[in-house]
A = this chain, B = another copy of it.
Amino acid sequence: MSDPQVIDLEALRRRCSQCSLQQLCLPAGVSAQDLDQLDSMVRRRKTVGAAERLFRAGDNFAAVYVAREGAFKTVCISSEGEEQIVGFHIPGEIIGLDAMGEGRHRCEAIALTKANVCEVPFAQLTEIAARVPGLQRQLLRVIGKDINRAHEHTSNLAARRGAHERLALFLHGLLQRYRLVNGKASSTFKLPMSREDIARYLGMANETVSRAFARLQTDRVIVIAGRRVDVLDEDLLTQAAHPVDEIDRATPRTAS
C-alpha cells in the first residue's frame, strides 16, 4: 500500500480522464482540456463506511456526489418520521439532486456498503458548466437520466401488479444498470440492500419480498442465495415483470 508506484497508480486513477465511469458520469462529451477544469474541482475519493451518511435532510446544498464504488440509498423522512426509500444508487449514478429545488436536502443518502464517491461542489460545477457547453449539456443529461429512473420507479409502483412482478421489474432494472458499470453481459450480481430496504422501496412488507423471491426461483427465473442473484433467463425475467394481458391476444377480432 505504501509502494510509491501504487500511489502513482492511485493518483492516476483519481483523474476523471482515467476513471472507468467516465462515460456514465459528468465527463462524457467534455473535451480533454475542459476535463482538467472539472478534474481540479472535484474533491475526489471520499470514502464512507456502510451505514454512513453523505448528507442529512435539512443540510445545506453544498455538493452532488457520484458513486464510484459501493451503493447508496436515498431516504425521505416524512413529517411523521416514517422513512421512505426513494432511490438506490450504484456506481456512475448521481446523488443529491433533491436539494436543487430548495437549496437544502430533503432526503438523506446512506451508504449500503463500504463505498466511495466523488464529491462535486455544486456552485463550482454550475459555474464551470456555464463556461463549458459540453459540461452543461452533460450535466443536464445526467439530471435527466436521474429523472427517468425516478419515473420508471413510479411507473413500477403505480402499475397495479403483483408483488413478484414488481420485484422482477426491479431486478431487471438493476441488472441493466449493473451492466452499464461492468460493461459486460453478466447476468449475476449481488444485492447491496437488505430485503427490508427492497420492501420499503417497492412499497410492500419484507415478508412479501421474501415470498416474491421464492416464487421467481420456483418459476426458474432466477436463483437467489442470500443477496446473490443469478438471472437464469432474461426473457423470462422480462415476462415475469410484464404479465401478458390475455385479453389483448385473446380477442381475434380484426379491426372492424
Question: Which residues of A are interface residues toward B (Cβ below 8 A)?
Answer: 76, 78-80, 82, 84-86, 97-103, 106-107, 126, 129-131, 133, 136-137, 140-141, 143-148, 150-151, 153-155, 157-160, 200-205, 242, 244-245
Check A157/B203 contact, CB under 8 A, given A80-B245, A147-B146: yes
Known A101-B147, A144-B101, A148-B98; judge A155-B76 contact (CB<8 A).
yes
CA distance A226 to B105 in the complex (A): 38
A218 CA to B80 CA, complexed, in Å: 25
Residues of B close to A80: CB separation below 8 A: 242, 244-245
**Which residues in B have their C-beta under 8 angstroms from that of A136?**
126, 129-130
Across the interface, name the chain B residue whose C-beta is closest to A199: B160
* Copies of this chain: 2
Point out the residues of chain B lying under 8 angstroms from A244, CB to CB.
Answer: 80
Residue of B nearest to A242 (CB): B80
Bound complex: CA of A148 vs CA of B107, how far in Å? 10
Task: Please determine whether B150 and A147 come into contact, CB atoms closer than 8 angstroms.
Answer: yes
B242 near A79: Cβ-Cβ < 8 Å: yes
Q: Given the complex, which residues of B lie within 8 Å of A98, measured CB to CB?
A: 144, 147-148, 151
